[in-house]
Amino acid sequence: MGEPAFVGAIDQGTTSTRFLLYDRHGKPVASHQVEFSQIYPHAGWVEHNPREILETVKVCVQETYEKAKAQGLPVDGNVKAIGITNQRETTVIWRKSTGLPLYNAIVWMDARTSAICRRLEKELPGGRLHFVKTTGLPISTYFSATKLIWLLESVPEVKSAVEDGDALFGTIDTWLIWNLTRKLKNGQEIAEGGVHVTDCSNAARTLLMDLSTLEWHQPTLKELGIPAVILPRIISNAEYIGTVSEGWPLAGVPIAGCLGDQHAATLGQKCKRGQAKSTYGTGCFIVLNTGETIVPSNHGLLTTISFKLGPEAPTQYALEGSIAIAGAAVQWLRDSLGIIKTAGEIEELANSVENTGGLYFVPAFNGLFAPWWKDDARGVMVGISRFTTKAHIARAVLESLCFQAKDVLTSMHSDASTNTDDNFVLRVDGGAAANNLLLQLQADLLGSTVVRPADIETTAKGAAYAAGLTVGLWTEQEIFEDKLLSEIPDGHPEAKATTFHPDIDNNEREKRHASWCEAVKRSFALADLS
pLDDT digits (tens, 9 = 90+) for 218-235: 999 999 999 999 999 999
Q: In this predicted structure, what is the pLDDT of residue 530?
A: 41
CA distances from 230 to 164, 184, 496 (A): 11, 21, 47
> Which whole number is the average pLDDT over 97-119?
93
Q: Quick check: do 6-269 and 322-452+499-525 share a fold?
A: yes
**Sequence spans of domains, the chain:** 6-269, 322-452+499-525
3-state class of 338 per DSSP?
A: coil
155-169 pLDDT per residue, tens = 999 999 999 999 999
Q: In this predicted structure, what is the pLDDT of residue 522?
A: 94
Q: In this predicted structure, what is the pLDDT of residue 362?
A: 95
28-56 pLDDT per residue, tens = 999 999 999 999 999 889 999 999 999 99
Report how far residue 453's alpha carbon sits from residue 469's, in angstroms, rounded to the nearest whole number.
21
Does the structure show a pLDDT above 80 at 482?
no
Burial of 521 (0-12, 13-18, 19+ CB in 10 A): middle
Does the structure show a pLDDT above 70 at 261?
yes
Does the structure show a pLDDT above 60 at 510?
yes
Report how far residue 301's alpha carbon sits from residue 370's, in angstroms, rounded to the nearest whole number.
6
* Confidence at 490, pLDDT banded by 50, 70, 90: very low
Q: In this predicted structure, what is the pLDDT of residue 321?
A: 87
Does the structure show a pLDDT above 80 at 529?
no
Report how far residue 445's alpha carbon sits from residue 506's, in angstroms, rounded to the nearest whole number.
9
339-393 pLDDT per residue, tens = 999 988 999 999 999 999 999 999 998 888 878 878 889 999 999 999 999 999 9
* Confidence at 455, pLDDT banded by 50, 70, 90: confident
> Which whole number is the average pLDDT over 111-130?
93
Q: In this predicted structure, what is the pLDDT of residue 346?
A: 94
Does the structure show a pLDDT above 80 at 421?
no
Q: In this predicted structure, what is the pLDDT of residue 135?
A: 95
- Structural contact between residues 427 and 271, judged by C-beta atoms closer than 8 angstroms: yes
Does the structure show a pLDDT above 60 at 255?
yes
* Confidence at 187, pLDDT banded by 50, 70, 90: low
> Which whole number is the average pLDDT over 64-85?
94
More confident residue, 424 or 444: 444
Does the structure show a pLDDT above 70 at 485?
no
Q: In this predicted structure, what is the pLDDT of residue 186?
A: 59
Q: In this predicted structure, what is the pLDDT of residue 253?
A: 96
Q: In this predicted structure, what is the pLDDT of residue 93?
A: 97
For every residue of 405-456, which 3-state class applies, written as one string?
A: HHHHHHHHHHHHCCCCCCCCEEEEECHHHHCHHHHHHHHHHHCCEEEECCCC
Q: Rounded to an integer, what is the distance from CA 359 to the centroid of its chain?
A: 29
Return the CATH number of 322-452+499-525, one of 1.10.274.10, 1.20.120.850, 3.30.420.40, 3.30.70.20. Answer: 3.30.420.40
CATH of segment(s) 6-269: 3.30.420.40
- Structural contact between residues 94 and 167, judged by C-beta atoms closer than 8 angstroms: yes
Residues written for the chain: 530
- Structural contact between residues 223 and 119, judged by C-beta atoms closer than 8 angstroms: no
Does the structure show a pLDDT above 90 at 457?
no
More confident residue, 357 or 418: 357
> Which whole number is the average pLDDT over 402-430?
82
Does the structure show a pLDDT above 60 at 69?
yes
Q: Which residues contact 480 (CB under 8 A, 6 or more apart)?
A: 270, 272
Q: In this predicted structure, what is the pLDDT of residue 418?
A: 64
- DSSP letters along 482-497, please? THHHHTSPTT---PPP
296-342 pLDDT per residue, tens = 988 888 999 999 999 999 999 999 988 888 888 999 999 999 999 99
Q: Which residues contact 40 (CB under 8 A, 6 or more apart)?
A: 46, 47
Report how far residue 241's alpha carbon sits from residue 243's, in angstroms, rounded to the nearest whole number.
7
> Which whole number is the average pLDDT over 114-143?
93
Tell me the H-state helices in 235-294.
Answer: 261-268
User: In terms of DSSP bridges, do strands 79-86 and 254-260 run parallel, antiparallel, or are they unpaired?
Assistant: parallel
Mean pLDDT of the chain: 90
Q: In this predicted structure, what is the pLDDT of residue 419?
A: 55
Report how far residue 140's alpha carbon sits from residue 160's, in angstroms, rounded to the nearest whole number.
26
Does the structure show a pLDDT above 60 at 104?
yes
Q: E-assigned strands of 182-283?
A: 197-199, 209-210, 215-216, 233-235, 238-243, 254-260, 276-280
Q: In this predicted structure, what is the pLDDT of residue 420?
A: 52
